[in-house]
Amino acid sequence: MGQTDQGDTAKITLRAELLAARRAMAPEERSAAARALAQHGLELPELAAAHTVAGYVSVGGEPGTRELLDLLRGRGVRVLLPVLRFDNDLDWAVYGGPESLVRAGRGLLEPDGPRLGCDAVLAADAVLLPGLAVDAHGVRLGRGGGSYDRVLARLARAGAHPALVALLYASEVVARVPREAHDHPVHAVITPDGVRRFR
């Protein structure tokens, strides 16, 4: 078995463990975590001073993002939300508040406004990234769909340098995540326990 195969196997195993832990969380625990994430998010200077933030609407057992999105929008921040394309790439639209969200495929919620194109993310001062874990070096473990790998590659090609911020539960900051050549480390992770930065 090659190194890539071993890395894939390790990622699959880690994803399964982390998703099981999320499913086991009580609704009250998730609600409290979402409130704490929103509070700590606004303490992060890169978010507090941002004009445009590319975010996402949490679904299922993901750490809740809606309170943070609404607080940012209430402060006059232009919040962009992803719209999943047929090829798994991400288009973007401006978040107009909870009433602007519509149900989409794969259980996602997407904004109903005009589509701005895949390159709209290049205007973001900060990008909030979903994931399942981040390690001590800032390496993020995603869900495996590759959509955010494309976003991060697009930012790198364009020479854009927004703050890359993962939103996770505290237990999902782990010692090591299997890393591949295309992985882009995040600059910070926000958990209900606070903010951790990476070099």
Segment 173-192, tens digit of pLDDT: 998 888 877 778 999 999 99
Predicted confidence at residue 8, as pLDDT, reads 75
Coil, helix or strand at residue 126 = strand
Mean per-residue pLDDT pooled into runs of 10, the chain (199 residues): 60 90 94 96 94 96 96 97 96 96 90 97 97 94 88 95 97 88 88 93
The pair of three-digit structure tokens given for residue 199, joined into one six-digit string = 């070099």
The per-residue pLDDT for 54 is 98
What pLDDT is stored for residue 62 in this prediction? 94
Backbone angles phi and psi of 58, in degrees to 5: -70, 145
For residue 32, what are the β-bridge partners? none
The whole-number pLDDT of residue 33 equals 96
**What does the alpha-carbon distance between residue 174 and residue 12 come to, in Å, rounded to a whole number?**
15
Residue 90: predicted pLDDT: 97
Residue-level pLDDT at 78: 98
Interatomic CA distance for residues 76 and 67, integer angstroms? 15
Say if pTM beats, i.e. exceeds, 0.75.
yes
DSSP-assigned beta bridge partners for residue 82? 92
- Per-residue pLDDT tens over the stretch 151-164: 999 999 999 999 99
Residue 71 token pair: 């607080």
- The pair of three-digit structure tokens given for residue 49, joined into one six-digit string: 């001073």
All domains of the chain in start order, with CATH: 3-197 (3.40.50.10420)
What are the backbone dihedrals phi and psi of residue 18, each rounded to the nearest 5 degrees, phi first?
A: -70, -40
C-alpha 147/C-alpha 27 separation (Å) is 28
Q: What is the pLDDT of residue 6?
A: 55
How far is Cα of residue 59 from the mean position of the Cα atoms in its chain?
11
- The predicted structure's pLDDT at residue 28: 95
Closest CA relative to residue 11, chosen from 189, 199, 174: 174
What pLDDT, on the 0 to 100 scale, is given for residue 3? 47
